[in-house]
Amino acid sequence: MTNKLYVRNRAQKVLFEKEISGQLSDGNWENEKTDQRLWNCEVIVVNENEEQELGTNFAVRYYADFATEDLDFLWDRMIEYVRPIDPDYDRDQLIIDLNDLTNIVYGWEED
């Protein structure tokens, strides 16, 4: 079975594939263990009309806060990764997407 992560939008896909997976791939995130299945999974954007739920098709073993301010030095680079598909993408939208990605990966719903 291929490990998959189903995300809400293209920006989240780009962020995960170009930055987050690389940050996770060294096996550590904020000095904590990470799940190899997460950093090498296939990322798929879910169309609103699809029945597919957001999240992973496997249980993620270790927690990582993708919006942690400890990694804010990466934020400008992340914004630039998304700008080719959304020229108006900014820090506010980045934080929204990073928090949403954290919730998607760990199965939490916003109130």
Contacts of 96 (CB under 8 A, 6+ apart): none
**Alpha carbon distances (Å) from 49 to 9, 11, 80:** 13, 18, 29
- C-alpha–C-alpha distance, residues 29 and 23, integer Å: 7
Q: What is the pTM of this model?
A: 0.88
Partners of 42 in the β-ladder: 4
**Residue the block writes with tokens 């299945």:** 37
User: Residue 31's pLDDT is what?
Assistant: 60
24 and 38 in contact (C-beta within 8 Å)?
yes
pLDDT one-digit tens code per residue, 33-92: 777 788 789 999 998 777 889 999 998 888 888 998 888 899 999 999 999 999 999 999
Query: Any alpha helices (H) in the chain, and if so which ranges?
Result: 10-15, 21-24, 36-39, 75-82, 91-106
- Pick the closest to residue 22 from 99, 106, 81, 69 (CA basis): 81
Domain spans in the chain, listed from the N-terminal domain onward: 4-106
| Least confident residue range of 14-18, 26-30, 36-40, 106-110 | 26-30
